[in-house]
Amino acid sequence: MTDSGNSLDDHADAAIPRRAAARTAKLASLPLGIAGRAVGGWGRRLTGQDTEEVNAALSARAAEQLFEVLGTLKGGAMKFGQALSVFEAAVPDELAAPYRDALTRLQAAAPPMSARRTRRVLAEQLGRSWSERFAEFDDEPAAAASIGQVHHAVWHDGREVAVKVQYPGADEALRSDLRQLQRFSRLFQALVPGTEVKPLLAELADRMDEELDYRAEADNQRRFAKAFDGDEQVRIPKVVASAPKVIVSEWVTGTPFSEIISSGTVEERNEAGRLLAEFHYSSPSRAHLLHSDPHPGNFVLLDDGRLCVIDFGAVAALPDGAPRSLGVLMRLVLQGRSDELFDVLRSEGFVRPGSRIDADDVYRWLLPLTAPLTDESFHFTRRWAQEQAVRMGDTRNQDFNTGRSLNLPPQWLLIHRVTAGATGILCQLDAEVAVRDIVRRWQPGFAD
């Protein structure tokens, strides 16, 4: 078993601010830095420097600062960065390029916790003789995420396993970060235009206790693994052991979606998109659960062609499966039945009582969003995502006023956000997917 003793010191941990004041100062530097660069850029443009070059330089530095601050802080800051990374497909190309690399790196990178501190957590969670459970344990983390890091190891029976260890103080950091980020929500809106940052942060805050409890995450993973056991298209790693801050599960190797997005072939991107759509729409029926953390770092394409899904900290229970009314709404839009569509929206709470909004305006607002269902297959592109973001975010557009007049009921918030996130990944993949057939097979109410 690998054991480096004290040869790896705690220098990495020292670089991670633990105290609330230090974390607040770092987070505050993001909007202040953006404002400062904007003023500096304005001055350089006055002196005659090329506008596009100045803007590109400012955006590149903003992206680097974003990665450095959110990635170093981990906790809620990094969780927020990961959530933003899904929606970058909707950002116009001239603005998105500098952010794309920084946000994608957030999906799988963060400064590691030291070996000494990692072993301390393992002893607290698995007992002082924890090392006897492993034939081998690699002190160097294989991956790092928002509230924990993953180590490769070999279980005592010879199985390769992934050991997910939660960072000490992650709970305090998560709560502190999300409170602070909510204060700056309007300023952060500029980082990813077209994304509703305030409700996204509110939802992350509401679900943080679930994220912090690895026992609940292990239970979610077990339920998913049971539902997809033996499946020819999806593999869920089985849980080997778990504790409140440690999960040991089967080790898997494959190609991360982030790599497929950046350099995959057309065939690989299309297949990755198909598998993701199949998993997203089938999970409520098969597992009565919805994987609620859709970003490329949580999906891997295995060598045998299956989709591997990891990280089950954010999962929504759907005991009755996906709501039938969702399928009904999709079908009514496609059929152009605006009055019936409006009645269902009103009964589900999307239309506020006494609202004077017009049924035909609502139909026209929703119609472009159902474009993936109009033909047998649909090409999910960044351009399409950008067009939707502009259409719904331009205050001069009638669709903006229509969208603002509608209400998003609390019970629909998570389904809406997860579906938007999955769609964002499909657009990043530039995948062509026969999504209508997948929806027809799995979404209640659609094929009635």
Same structural domain for residues 156 and 25? no
- Per-residue pLDDT band for 168 (boundaries 50, 70, 90) equals confident
Same structural domain for residues 347 and 223? no
For the ranges 5-9, 37-41, 250-254, 314-318, which has the lowest average pLDDT? Answer: 37-41
CA 219 to chain CA centroid, Å, is 20
The pLDDT assigned to 353 comes to 80
Q: Give, as one character, the DSSP assignment of residue 156.
A: T
Same structural domain for residues 76 and 48? yes
Average predicted confidence (pLDDT) for the chain: 78
Measured distance CA(92)–CA(100) in Å, rounded: 11
Please state the rounded mean pLDDT for residues 171-185: 65
Query: Domain containing 135 — which CATH number?
Result: 3.30.200.20
Same structural domain for residues 50 and 180? yes
Same structural domain for residues 158 and 58? no
Tell me if 268 is assigned to some domain. Answer: no
For the ranges 343-347, 357-361, 389-393, which has the lowest average pLDDT? Answer: 389-393
Same structural domain for residues 179 and 62? yes
- Among 250, 280, 314, the domain-final residue is 250
Measured distance CA(32)–CA(222) in Å, rounded: 44
- Per-residue pLDDT band for 217 (boundaries 50, 70, 90) equals very high
The pLDDT assigned to 208 comes to 66
Tell me if 308 is assigned to some domain. Answer: no
Same structural domain for residues 161 and 51? no
Tell me if 339 is assigned to some domain. Answer: yes
Tell me if 3 is assigned to some domain. Answer: no
For the ranges 296-305, 349-358, 373-382, which has the lowest average pLDDT? Answer: 349-358
**pTM as predicted:** 0.76
Looking at per-residue pLDDT, the higher value among 353 and 92 belongs to 353
SS3 247: strand
Measured distance CA(305)–CA(368) in Å, rounded: 32
Tell me if 310 is assigned to some domain. Answer: no
Dihedral of the alpha carbons of 397, 399, 400, 406, in degrees to the nearest 10: 160
Same structural domain for residues 55 and 87? yes
Structure tokens at 330: 């999709």
Q: Give yes or no for a contact between 290 and 414, defined as CB atoms under 8 angstroms apart.
A: yes
Same structural domain for residues 122 and 165? yes
Tell me if 138 is assigned to some domain. Answer: yes
Tell me if 35 is assigned to some domain. Answer: yes
Same structural domain for residues 78 and 151? no
Domain, as residue range, for 370: 324-442
Same structural domain for residues 195 and 79? yes
The pLDDT assigned to 391 comes to 80
Please state the rounded mean pLDDT for residues 318-347: 95
Tell me if 267 is assigned to some domain. Answer: no
Same structural domain for residues 74 and 40? yes
Residue 205 makes CB contacts below 8 A (sequence gap 6+) with 76, 175, 178, 179, 182
Query: Domains in the chain: how many in total?
Result: 3
**Which DSSP string corresponds to 62-81?**
HHHHHHHHHHHH-HHHHHHH
